[in-house]
Amino acid sequence: MRRIAAQRFRGRPLTPGRVVAWLAAGIAAVVLLWLVWIAGHIAWWRDHPPAETSFMAQRMDEAQTKNPKARLRYQWVDYGRIAPALKRAVVAAEDAKFADHEGFDWDGIERALERNQRKGRIVAGGSTITQQLAKNLFLSPTKSYFRKGQEAVITVLLEALLTKRRILELYLNVIEWGNGVFGAEAAARHYFGVGAAQLSVEQAARLAAMAPNPRFYERNPGAPGLNRKIGIIIARMPSAELP
């Protein structure tokens, strides 16, 4: 009976529908494995600091291409050792609704789309702190609809598996703040010679203002508009809600 069944199976024609079904099953398996891999990393980071992020690894590759001895400046500090001023400044500048949304600021996304349409190019992204953390931890800075789709999935997982406080703690520790400078502690020491816990309101606002384009502002600390941005952030800081 087994031989007959095997012969019948081997004799079944390979139809287009069956090919599509096998391909769909293969793609679903790959996606599931990717989701498990992402979720496993996020679960580990609930209690452990990242040794390195995808964005750090890319910057390291770029730096070592020019200088094989290049090293990144990155030192993890716990949430309580980061000045409240920096937390408020970053939330005020990057994601005012951070404490309330579930990973996506739909009003911000709509405003960014309208602004991009007016300019005829991408000048605003509307990304939340959680979305930016997803990109920094797992993805590359290249822009595409596929990458945005990955970012959205990872954002959902981050919000599901981590507290808001942990998301902000991770973000402040892995964000790029200059050429080879990552995280609040390295940034505070690089620019001001103090630890992240000792940052003043103005220093915190300056770091938050630099965040969208840190390597440019590192080279151009007197760039037009930077001081104006710092003033706006300082004015918004008192109303910034922290997790």
Which of 204, 219, 187, 217 is closest to 72 using CA atoms? 187
Per-residue pLDDT of 89-131, as tens digits, reads: 999 999 999 999 988 887 766 666 666 565 665 545 569 999 9
CATH of domain 50-239: 1.10.3810.10
- Boundaries of every domain in the chain: 1-44, 50-239
Distance CA(203)–CA(185), nearest Å, equals 13
Distance CA(109)–CA(117), nearest Å, equals 12
Question: Residue 23: helix, strand or coil by DSSP?
Answer: helix
* E-assigned strand segments in the chain: 73-74, 176-178, 181-182
Per-residue pLDDT of 124-137, as tens digits, reads: 556 999 999 999 99
Per-residue pLDDT of 152-199, as tens digits, reads: 999 999 999 999 999 999 999 999 999 999 999 999 999 999 999 999
Distance CA(34)–CA(40), nearest Å, equals 10
Distance CA(114)–CA(96), nearest Å, equals 19
